[in-house]
């Protein structure tokens, strides 16, 4: 079985490389919906699962590993900023305030004979 990291994140690739395992990086092309009405922990897990499932559909005989990280503060969920201005705004809101950084992980084992 081959290992697939369902993420193009440089940091996740770096962490995965530390395991010593040989792996392939695959962009999941999964459309994250940050507007879903879920508690932050469930949302991170849901988005991670979506990424893994999108890649698992394309790769048999593989172990697919994905993750999704969100930041939560006062009931608001922050995803990846879409611009430098948005990143600056996020940092201004979060700076000096206690907030949560939540990561959901998913591992899917897809045998050769699965559909």
> Considering 29, 33, 68, 113, which one is annotated as catalytic?
68
pLDDT score, position 36: 87
pLDDT digits (tens, 9 = 90+) for 17-72: 999 999 999 998 898 888 788 999 999 999 999 999 999 999 999 999 999 999 99
- Angle at Cα 102 formed by Cα 72 and Cα 53, nearest 5°? 115
Domains and CATH numbers, the chain: 2-69+102-110 (3.90.950.10)
Is position 68 annotated as part of the catalytic site?
A: yes
pTM: 0.84
Checking if the pLDDT of 82 tops 90, the result is no
Q: What's the count of helices (H) and strands (E) in the chain, helices before strands?
A: 3, 5
pLDDT score, position 96: 94
């Amino acid at each position: 079985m081959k290992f697939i990291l369902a993420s193009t994140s440089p940091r996740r690739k770096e962490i995965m490389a530390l395991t010593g395992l040989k792996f392939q990086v695959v962009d999941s092309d999964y459309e994250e919906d940050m507007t879903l009405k879920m508690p932050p922990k469930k949302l991170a897990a849901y988005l991670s699962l979506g990424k893994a499932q999108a890649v698992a559909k394309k790769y048999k005989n593989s172990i697919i590993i994905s993750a999704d990280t969100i930041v939560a503060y006062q009931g608001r969920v922050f995803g990846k900023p879409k611009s430098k201005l948005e990143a600056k705004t996020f940092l201004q809101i979060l700076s000096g305030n206690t907030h949560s950084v939540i990561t959901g992980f998913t591992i899917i084992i897809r045998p050769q004979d699965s559909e």
